[in-house]
């Protein structure tokens, strides 16, 4: 059974710092991996999707990497801003079959202090 963990559970940094969020999964046979952002009282918003054949994806100040063999993904946030404060979740999908869906990690709660 696929298990997804995220470290740290919470992180507090001053504005302007670069930071890395970690995601680990136990079964390396994944189809793709997504990073989501969740603001308090809101649903999840997809940030980046990495296919199993890719090693990284970039969107603005965000860069996500994937190392399938080690069962790890990282989300790098450059020049953090207070508006980046949210909970970040990663989710892995085991295969492309219709019946296979995402398994979510518990999330990392990020606070960027002005």
Partner 1 sequence: DAGVIQSPRHEVTEMGQEVTLRCKPISGHNSLFWYRQTMMRGLELLIYFNNNVPIDDSGMPEDRFSAKMPNASFSTLKIQPSEPRDSAVYFCASSFRAGPTTNEKLFFGSGTQLSVL
Q: Which residues bind partner 1 (CB under 8 A)?
A: 31-32, 34, 36, 41-46, 49, 51, 89, 96-99, 101-102, 104-107
Residues 6+ away with beta carbon under 8 Å from 50: 32, 33, 34, 56, 57, 64, 65, 66, 73
Nearer to partner 1, 8 or 96 (CB): 96
Q: How far is the CB of 113 from partner 1 (least distance, A)?
A: 24
Q: How far is the CB of 70 from partner 1 (least distance, A)?
A: 22
Q: How far is the CB of 43 from partner 1 (least distance, A)?
A: 3
Nearer to partner 1, 51 or 111 (CB): 51
First to last CA, the chain: 41
Nearer to partner 1, 14 or 41 (CB): 41
State whether residue 43 is helix, strand or coil.
coil
Residues 6+ away with beta carbon under 8 Å from 10: 108, 109, 110, 111
Q: How far is the CB of 68 from partner 1 (least distance, A)?
A: 15
């Amino acid at each position: 059974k696929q298990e997804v963990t995220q470290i740290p559970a919470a992180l507090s940094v001053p504005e302007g710092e670069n930071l890395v969020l970690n995601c680990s999964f136990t079964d390396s046979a994944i189809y793709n991996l997504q990073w989501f952002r969740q603001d308090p009282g809101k649903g999840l918003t997809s940030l980046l999707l990495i296919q199993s054949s890719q090693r990284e994806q970039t969107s603005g100040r965000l860069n996500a990497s994937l190392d399938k063999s080690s069962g790890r993904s990282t989300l790098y946030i450059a020049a953090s801003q207070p508006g980046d404060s949210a909970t970040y979740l990663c989710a892995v999908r085991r295969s492309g079959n219709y019946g296979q869906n995402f398994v979510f990690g518990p999330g990392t709660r990020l606070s960027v202090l002005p």
